[in-house]
Structure 1
Amino acid sequence: MLADTYIPRRLDDQWKIGLWDVDVAAPVLFMMFVGYLGGSKLAFCLAVSVGFFASRWLARIKSDKHPAFAMHWLYWHLPTNPVSAMRATPPSHIRRMVG
């Protein structure tokens, strides 16, 4: 019984890429890909700077809210498709719920 076992403390933490949450790092990574497709150093630098400012904007908006704020915002503001539709919750276009 001397085995050293690891007991996780936080099971519901957000996924991380380095030190950033995934939803904050996603704009930078996406814009790096777009800048790479641009084919020039200027396009890459402009795209990365736009992605960086978008991620900073998202981080500031999300700072005082629930950790999954970005996922909640996407659910309510983007159209549903068969991949992202949830079975246990009503569709996002139904705004009034009784009960």
Structure 2
Amino acid sequence: MEMARYMIPRHLDDPPMVFMWDADEAGTFMFLMLFGALFQQFIAGIVLGFITARALARIKQAGGRGLILRFLYWYTRSDLWIKCRAPSFVREYAG
């Protein structure tokens, strides 16, 4: 078989993008920007949104996929929002 015929997409599993950011980072930026505009602090909202979006990007880059979900599982009441997993506060199971 000739390999030139088959094209394998390189970006098949990439997350959705908004301009240059992932969708969750852009959503964080836009939310804080609009929140700042709501309280007539538009510049502060833009700065805070940019800083928060960059921090979120670095956290995601450092921890790989699912870092934020793992953090939420261990440090919040996970029985409220993850029904299919065991509660995080149970350390030993009998049996």
TM tier, smaller: 0.5 to 0.7
CA shift, 1:97, in A, is 5.4
Question: What TM-score, normalized to structure 2?
Answer: 0.63
Unaligned runs of 5+ in 2: 1-7
Aligned to 1:59: 57
Q: CA RMSD in A?
A: 2.8
Question: What TM-score, normalized to structure 1?
Answer: 0.62
CA shift, 1:52, in A, is 0.7
Aligned to 1:23: 24
Shift of the 67–30 alpha-carbon distance from structure 1 to 2, 3 Å rule, reads: same
Aligned to 1:93: 89
**Identical columns (%):** 34
Matches within 5 A, 1:38-77: 38=39, 40=40, 43-77=41-75
> Matched residues in 2 for 1:25 and 1:97: separation?
40
> Matched residues in 1 for 2:27 and 2:88: separation?
23
Number of equivalent positions: 87
C-alpha deviations, 1:73-98, integer Å up to 9, x for none? 2333333464x2232x112333x356
CA shift, 1:8, in A, is 6.2
The structure in which a higher percent of residues are helix is: 2
Shift of the 71–60 alpha-carbon distance from structure 1 to 2, 3 Å rule, reads: same
CA shift, 1:29, in A, is 1.8
